[in-house]
Amino acid sequence: MIQILTPTNKQPFQRNNNNLATIEVTGKTDNTGTLKITANPTKGGTFLQLETQIVEGTFAQKITLQAGYYYLETEANSEKKGVFCAVGEVFMIIGHSFTEDYGTIASDDERIIMPDSLFHPMWEKAPYENSGFISMKDFSLQNVKTFEHEYQVLSTIKQGIWGKLGNELIKKFDVPICFLNAGFGGSNLEHWYKAMYSIPFEHPFIQYSKGMPYSKAKNILNTIVPKTGIRAVICIHGDNDNAHPDKDLIANYYQKIISKFRTDSGIANLPFVLSLSATNLPAWQGLVDGALLALKTIPYTTQGAEIYKFPDSLRIEDKLHLNPFGETETARQLAEIIGTKEFLIKNPPFTVNVLDPPTQKNTMLEYLKTAIIFLSVASAIFFTIKNYKKWIS
């Protein structure tokens, strides 16, 4: 019997800017001796095979893979067990209703990956700790782990930007793409700010006492991102802040929210992509200007889609929410920004267990420096002792 504990099936790993990710393969087995690990690339990537020792019924081996989609197989005494894993790009999503659904129906590549749970109840850790991963195109009511209402599952399938953005980024990068969605429909920047900094507020369905609307994002940061890594957070806000369209206030909300994300995640330079979204201009121009001010003053931020420029033909009847054409255009604009080498270079990711060549060379250099210092000190001590004997004689 072989049981693979990590990675879980279809688990994504954020690559570094050398196009590598290091994966820890761990598990249990009743076999003895050696266990063979084979990484078979199915779309992109390079073949890798090695052996590791089974120690008291367990195995653990780190392997470094190039970006690609792999079938990772373990074998001992003719018994085989395998899972798929993905090395590519990982993004978190936050914002209001434009962000909340995935739009999985648009996804047409198994390398576009999402959690297999809609995280209910969102304020508890268990749904996140027990979540696995699934190809977005395979997501359905039958295989989702947790959800509150059936309509949420159906909405996740039928509408949303992220399946379409996944298609565009696959074309740009030809590597697996994962989205971790923490969007919260009906929320605004003020709600996120107050929930983060424990400032009570009242709302018909955004429950401050449960940490909403930040609770989902915080749990993803604490339980999933440490296992997957992350490139950036993609944010769409603005429309619901129209009660206070003050440029400085909006910029301050962004600054406080991004700062809290970076503190809570432990990723000091966690990149953010801020899309500009507002209607009823010029009356609510402050919503756009506030986002632009935030982009100008907060490091590691990048301007996203210019949704505020969308005509009514890209919106549904309420002239606010996006129709399928508006979702497609948002995805296209985001892909033109995110899907570039310049974006990757300017926004280094947080990665898991990276052992890339530059790090190893630097480590060897440090060992060499330490050895030289040790020999120098030892020589000095020997010289002192030798001459001390002469002096006292």
pLDDT in tens, 266-322: 999 999 999 999 999 999 999 999 999 999 999 999 999 999 999 999 999 999 999
Is 390 within the bounds of a domain? no
Tokens of 159: 């509408």
Is 359 within the bounds of a domain? no
Which band of pLDDT confidence, cut at 50, 70 and 90, is reported for residue 353? confident
Choice between 385 and 29, residue whose per-residue pLDDT is larger: 29
Q: Does residue 109 share a domain with residue 61?
A: no
Q: Does residue 163 share a domain with residue 56?
A: no
Using CA atoms, how far apart are residues 11 and 133, in angstroms rounded to an integer?
6
Q: Does residue 139 share a domain with residue 114?
A: yes
Using CA atoms, how far apart are residues 217 and 140, in angstroms rounded to an integer?
23
Q: Does residue 93 share a domain with residue 79?
A: no
Number of domains forming the structure of the chain:
2
Is 361 within the bounds of a domain? no
Which band of pLDDT confidence, cut at 50, 70 and 90, is reported for residue 366? very low
Tokens of 58: 């367990």
pTM of the model: 0.88
Q: What is the CATH number of the domain that holds 260?
A: 3.40.50.1110
What does the pLDDT read at residue 317? 96
Is 338 within the bounds of a domain? yes
- Structural domain boundaries enclosing 43: 2-86
Q: Does residue 126 share a domain with residue 63?
A: no
Using CA atoms, how far apart are residues 12 and 85, in angstroms rounded to an integer?
6
pLDDT greater than 70 at residue 360: no
Q: Does residue 100 share a domain with residue 68?
A: no
Q: Does residue 99 share a domain with residue 74?
A: no
pLDDT greater than 80 at residue 237: yes
pLDDT in tens, 70-118: 999 999 999 999 999 999 999 999 999 999 999 999 999 999 999 999 9
pLDDT in tens, 123-171: 999 999 999 999 999 999 999 999 889 999 999 999 999 999 999 999 9
What does the pLDDT read at residue 376? 53
Q: Does residue 44 share a domain with residue 180?
A: no
What does the pLDDT read at residue 374? 46
Distances (CA, A) of 96 to 177, 188, 322: 22, 6, 12
Q: Does residue 327 share a domain with residue 274?
A: yes
Average pLDDT over residues 191-219: 97
Q: Does residue 155 share a domain with residue 277?
A: yes
Is 214 within the bounds of a domain? yes
H-helix or E-strand spanning residue 256? helix 247-265
Is 323 within the bounds of a domain? yes
What does the pLDDT read at residue 189? 98
Using CA atoms, how far apart are residues 322 and 315, in angstroms rounded to an integer?
4
Q: Does residue 181 share a domain with residue 54?
A: no
